[in-house]
Amino acid sequence: MLVKTLLILIALIALAVPVAASLGWLGLTLQYLESPMPLHRALGDMVWQTGTDFLLVAIPMFVLLGEILLRAGITERMYEGIVRWVGWLPGGLMHSNIGSSALFAATSGSSVATAATIGTVAVPQITKRGYNEPLFLGTIAAGGTLGILIPPSINLILYGLLTDTSVPELYLAGFIPGFLLASLFMGTIVLLCLMRRGWGGEAIRTDWGARFAALPALIPPIGIFLVVVGSIYAGLATPTEAASLGVVAAMILAALNGKLTLTMLRHAVEGTMRTTSMIMLIILAAVFLNFVLSVIGLTTALTDFVSGLGLTPFQTMLLIIAVLVVLGCFMETLSMLLTTAPIITPIVIALGYDPVWFGILLMVLLETALITPPIGINLYVVQGIRGRGEIVDVMKGAAPFVITMFAMIALLLAFPQLALWLPSLVY
């Protein structure tokens, strides 16, 4: 049954069937092959129950928040402000790509939105300052991945929904690993630019006066972050309500910048509707697939298979990581999260691991999927913004950061408290 399921899924992906349709067709096919009951008759009720879940309202709110920030010009000023503080390091603007991505990730919750936004601002600088183009593009693709790890993260909300794990705890758990990974990315840039002096581009000179003058440009995103995350931990709002507060704060900032117009809001809402529709269709298809997998006993069969291997919990975890890394090369991250989390998380919990810790580990694995060929979505986003050359350049530039992510996975395995310290402190 397991082999049959994998073969059907691989065939659908190989045929370039859209992700939501692939998941839906897989569920229907397994139902007809394996189930004596017409499970598709429950589809209407499942769509209604899932689609009306209050927690999912946070998704369009966070997407809209990122759309407004992008169109209000706040991101551009934020990028220029960060340049003043980290541009002096070997690698110059490449550190700004990572720093801006980390800061924007702390407001948007989306990796694709982060890569697209920072890429739009940063790509024109490549030829102006003589950077090594593949590495520069790789920093944008890698920095964009931080959107699903640093709170507020849409993927963490979905993981919490799928595995019945506390979203506030997951948000707390994502802080230290998220900013540590950003620091490791910057360390990777320094190391590469020291090894190859010509890769770092033109040196950026600044002074303390310019740095302090740039601070006001960093206040808006930090302020939105405090509104969103602060309201959750102050007990004033749920994650969904906090996302709505973030949208209100973004609209106020847009108004102060003179960018709040009906045209801007119309474009922001249109972009939000397109993105949200795609996400919701994948979610609903994945929920139906997970229902079918549970009814036909595939989840139990997989658990029994893993238990029967006779491996230690740590060896089993390494096997799970290896499988997820391979899957990440061929699956889009959202569909990968929705199809694997409900199946694998019970196995991980049975092995004695904390579901909050595994949620953060899974986010890092999903981050690697964003920049590993052939399906790494951030690679295509950055190449689309670049608009010339071959996508192989972006893949080469992102490769060192995949290695950095593996180092982050090793740190989480060796030191689980990197993710669990803050939640244990607060809860």
Summarize pLDDT for 20-61 with one digit per residue, the tens. Answer: 777 777 888 888 787 777 777 777 777 787 777 777 787 788
Whether pLDDT at 427 is above 90: no
The helix/strand/coil state of 267 is helix
Give CA–CA dist 105/175, Å, rounded. 11
pLDDT of residue 403: 95
Please, what's the b/e burial string for 368-387 (b: 16 or more CB within 10 A of its CB; e: otherwise)? Answer: bbbbbbebbbbbbbbbebbe
The helix/strand/coil state of 229 is helix
pLDDT of residue 402: 94
pLDDT digits (tens, 9 = 90+) for 325-358: 887 876 767 778 877 888 889 889 988 999 999 9
pLDDT of residue 274: 81
Q: In Å, how far are 71, 263, 264, 334 from 67, measured between CA atoms?
A: 6, 13, 9, 19
**Which range in 105-114, 187-196, 287-296 is most confidently predicted, on average pLDDT?**
187-196
Q: Residue 149 — pLDDT band, cuts 50, 70, 90?
A: confident
**Which range in 173-182, 214-223, 364-373 is most confidently predicted, on average pLDDT?**
173-182
* Cα-Cα-Cα-Cα dihedral sign, residues 290, 296, 298, 303: positive
Higher pLDDT, 289 or 298: 289
Give CA–CA dist 117/109, Å, rounded. 12
Entry pTM:
0.81
Give CA–CA dist 141/111, Å, rounded. 9
Shortest CA distance to 110 belongs to which of 59, 175, 46? Answer: 59
pLDDT of residue 16: 67
pLDDT digits (tens, 9 = 90+) for 394-415: 889 999 999 999 999 999 999 9
The amino acid at 388: R
pLDDT of residue 121: 81
CA 201 to chain centre: 29
pLDDT of residue 58: 79
303, 280, 169, 249: CA torsion to nearest 10: 170
Out of 139-153, 185-199, 257-271, 331-345, least confident range? 331-345
Helices and strands, counts by H and E, the chain:
21, 0
Whether pLDDT at 19 is above 70: no
Share of the chain above pLDDT 90, in %: 20
Mean pLDDT of the region 369-387:
81
pLDDT of residue 418: 95
Whether pLDDT at 108 is above 80: no
C-beta neighbour count of 32 within 10 angstroms: 10
Higher pLDDT, 251 or 378: 251
pLDDT of residue 421: 95
Task: Give residue for tokens 């092959």.
Answer: 33
Out of 15-19, 148-152, 195-199, 317-321, least confident range? 15-19
Give CA–CA dist 47/258, Å, rounded. 41
- Cβ distance 256 to 19 under 8 Å? no
Give CA–CA dist 152/144, Å, rounded. 14
The amino acid at 82: I
Pinpoint the alpha helices (H) of 329-416.
333-350, 355-370, 377-386, 391-414
The amino acid at 42: A
Mean pLDDT of the region 87-113:
81
pLDDT of residue 259: 85
Whether pLDDT at 318 is above 80: yes
pLDDT of residue 139: 92
Higher pLDDT, 6 or 160: 160
Collect all residues with Cβ–Cβ distance below 8 Å to 141 and sequence separation of at least 6.
115, 370, 371, 376, 378, 379, 381, 382, 394, 397, 398, 401
pLDDT of residue 420: 95
